[in-house]
Amino acid sequence: MTHNSISVQELAQTIDHTLLKPTLTLTELQNLCEEAAQYQFKTVCIPPTWVKEAVSFLTGTKVGTITVVGFPLGYSACRAKALEAEIAIEQGAAEIDMVLNISFLKNQRLQEMGEDVRTVKRACQNIPLKVILETAYLTEIEKVEAARICERAGADFIKTSTGFATGVKVTGATLADIELLRKNLKTTTQIKASGGVKDFNSAVAFLKAGANRLGTSSGVQILNGLEASGSY
């Protein structure tokens, strides 16, 4: 089956099947991992306290485990973020998604913001690092400035959103965000669109706009041709 020049199988390999709610249960985690294995998603993205369990559930599959660092507000101490990353990798995390220190960005403490990313990247070593900008809170100028600093600091991916932004109309990725980032980053720096991916057509549109990876809790619905109703 193909749609807009991409097959269901190809689309599945761009999806980080995500469940980051604070009330996550072990049963829900197991179900998420089983879905990821069944639909052959690229990864699952889950809270750091559940990395060992997710890795165990996914043993024997090709699905990787992602976890988050400094989540969801980004203003944890730099060393704390690095330690979170180290522990997660020791437990089997294949990728790390860290939240940018948005407060540093807003106060133009850009050197410290970049060092925050560099420190976590050193902790990750060869493990891919995504940096979440939380685009909902940023102007276009801030998005570009932050993305370029993160790129220079060693980020492998620039990611749009946590899904936990409040007080804003749009909390997830937009096509305009992806196009803006793609235009201003090196071709070797990848982009993850997270939030706002609700159906097959929107998923394909984000990829065509320049995203390499999609973060969504609605991957099953998307691959089955349904429109998701969730917030992420």
pLDDT above 70 for 48:
yes
Residue 45, in any domain of the structure = yes
pLDDT above 60 for 1:
no
The mean pLDDT value for 83-98 works out to 98
Active-site residue, 106 included = no
Residue 177, in any domain of the structure = yes
pLDDT above 50 for 19:
yes
The contacts of residue 44 (CB under 8 Å, 6+ apart) are 16, 17, 18, 19, 32, 33, 36, 54, 58, 63, 64, 65, 66
The mean pLDDT value for 177-204 works out to 95
pLDDT above 70 for 58:
yes
Q: Assign residue 188 the CATH number of its domain.
A: 3.20.20.70
Residue appearing with tokens 């043993």: 59
| Lowest-pLDDT range of 9-13, 74-78, 175-179, 195-199 | 195-199
Residue 101, in any domain of the structure = yes
Given 16, 97, 156, 177, the catalytic residue: 97
Q: What is the total count of domains within the chain?
A: 1
pLDDT for position 227: 66
Residue 44, in any domain of the structure = yes
pLDDT above 80 for 3:
no
Residue 229, in any domain of the structure = no
Active-site residue, 159 included = yes
Given 121, 130, 192, 198, the catalytic residue: 192
Tens digit of pLDDT for each residue in 112-169? 999 999 999 999 999 999 999 999 999 999 999 999 999 999 999 999 999 999 999 8
User: Residues of the chain with pLDDT > 90: what percent?
Assistant: 91
User: 193, 215 in Cβ contact below 8 A?
Assistant: yes
Residue 85, in any domain of the structure = yes
pLDDT above 50 for 2:
no
User: Residues of the chain with pLDDT > 70: what percent?
Assistant: 96
Residue 192, in any domain of the structure = yes
Domain encompassing residue 72: 2-223
Residue 230, in any domain of the structure = no
Cα–chain-centroid distance for residue 159? 5
Active-site residue, 183 included = no
